[in-house]
Amino acid sequence: MRFGIAFKLGLLLASFSLVAMGTVGYYAYASGRAALLTAAQRDLLTATQVLGRNFQASIDEVAGDTLLLASLAAGNDKKLLADTFTALMAVNPQYFQIRLIGADDHGLELVRVDRDGDKLARVPAGDLQEKAHYAYVFNTLQLGRGQVYLSDITLNHEEGAHSGLHKPTVRVATPVLAGDGKVRGLVVINLDLNGLFARLKSDLPNAYQLYLSNHWGDYLIHPDPAEAFGFDKGRRIFIQEFFQPVAALIDGKSASVVTSIEGVQQATSGLVAAFVRLPYGGSVEKKFVILGLSQPLENVVRETSQLGWTTVQMILALSVMAVLLAWLVSRAVTGSLRNMVGAMSMFSKEQVIIELPSARKDEIGLLASSLNDMQNTIVANMRELNESRQTLTHLAQHDSLTGLPNRALFDDRLRQAVSQARRDQTRLALLFVDLDGFKAINDTCGHHVGDLLLSAVAKQMQACVRNVDTVGRLGGDEFVVLLTHVEGDQDALLVAGKICTALNQPFDLDGGSLVISASIGVAVYPEHGSDELTLSKSADAAMYLAKVSGGNRVRLFGQ
């Protein structure tokens, strides 16, 4: 049987149309998938970096608490110290245990408070243990005043550790020195690693999975708990064996990596993951940890998968019609496909949306409409991802309750202000504000009223300062105020007095009236500190003196 030229030409045109449409469909799918994957990797890396900064900030906060407790432990009042341990653990649920360990008697524990389920228990003297043989004890005892020891992340196998037993933990310790410089012992805080990361990860999407490894690559946190701490179970499970690009972080060749893994076990659609290398421990040891987040690849490319199937269906339908109507549609198909390829190329390279003609009632119109929808969907997804990244950045820098700058953002502003004052040879003041009796209000009125009071206190403090000044919240009932361009001590004391008076007024909250006071410590740059750390210690010390003097007063450092 011989076929006529019309049939052959029609078949040839139909074949060309099929190839062209398949190319466009595949290119549109691949371009959209690549654009979504790139955006997802970028935002996942941003989330990982924010989470890493929050982790390091949390470790710094624990170190600060340890130094504060060490200064209190220099006295001999064990009951006061135990009460302080208990109060600190009550506001920090991620603390498993706080102890004072003596330098004598084989490292005998002197004061110890454990978390036991929902309770806080002071361990009686008869159950206190000797700890001199543990590395965190003898290593800490070799440190000087103000130095902090950070242990490796391990499972806690110390018997009698209550809730912390066999749980991932970090020990943060600092020596306790007497007035003559002799080491009397050490204060150590056992930090709940899983609890800390659960709190830090609470604002991230549920689909994100967390990974943490030590500097060797051993898993410390894994979505499957059975994979974590393999070295403690007699086997080594390394993160670089599964996520091969992480080897560059372990070798120190890179500070961050992003990767996509297709068809991995237990996730047939694959994973998108981002990892960062974070310094951990002392500067001499130069240790680090690897922190990572991942999400299923299916979540990222779900829209493009639907588009791919829709494109295949349209191509099949158009190929059938092309055999019968090739002579009518050949020129129109060629011109329309060229426009689509150009639009997809422009969108892939510059993310510029070119509206394709979708008014036609044929297959080309359906394809153009689908591609328009795809472009709009991709742009909407990218916009949503950017908004999520901005939200994560804001949450990382502001207190979620009061909206004030948190410790990380406030420290950054203080650092900039000190640098500016040093250049301009001006003065600034730092105020540490601690509410008197806030814990009693929380206990009697409830945390809801306590939160309302903290928000009202934040607004009252902001009303007492200038727009150029900064009010921040360090956590709990502790606030800080940065006053720039002050003329002298009296200016800072005047503002501090204004805040003290304002906070001593009744607050109408939840149908009731509450009265609270504040202890305020004031330090002025450069008289009380030539850098932000010294200035902060001076303000904190002044606040502590105001507190122990009865509260509801302002104290200038050195007076």
Which two structure tokens, joined as six digits, stand for 340?
């689509």
| 56 neighbors 291 (Cβ within 8 angstroms) | no
Element (H, E) at 29: helix 5-73
Residue 281 DSSP label:
S
Q: Is 402 helix (H, G, I), strand (E, B) or coil?
A: coil
Residue 150 host element (H or E): strand 149-150
What does the alpha-carbon distance between residue 368 and residue 381 come to, in Å, rounded to a whole number?
Answer: 20
Q: What is the CA radius of gyration of the chain?
A: 31
Please give the full DSSP string across 60-113, using - where no structure is assigned. Answer: HHHHHHHHHHHHHHTSS-HHHHHHHHHHHHHH-TTEEEEEEEESSTTTBEEEEE
**Residue 265, strand partner residues:** none
How many Å apart are CA 292 and CA 276, to the nearest integer? 6
Query: How far is the C-alpha of 204 from the C-alpha of 201, rounded, in Å?
Result: 5
Tokens representing 306 are 């639907």
Structure tokens at 353: 């949306």
DSSP β-bridge partners for residue 192: 169
* Angle, CA 340 vertex, CA 339 and CA 344 arms, to 5°: 120
> Does residue 176 contact residue 74 with C-beta atoms inside 8 Å?
yes
- Dist. CA 38–CA 366, nearest whole Å: 28
Residues in the chain: 559
Angle at 287 between CA 285 and CA 288, to 5 degrees: 160
Residue 65 annotated in active site: no
Catalytic residue selected from 114, 192, 477, 540: 477
Alpha-carbon distance of 45 to 274, in angstroms, equals 5
SS3 279: strand
Half-sphere exposure (Cβ direction) of 155: Cα atoms closer than 13 Å: 15
Match 């608490």 to its residue by tokens.
65
Give bridge partners of residue 155 from the DSSP assignment.
168
d(CA 344, CA 429): 57
Cα separation, 504 vs 525, whole angstroms: 27
Residues involved in catalysis: 477
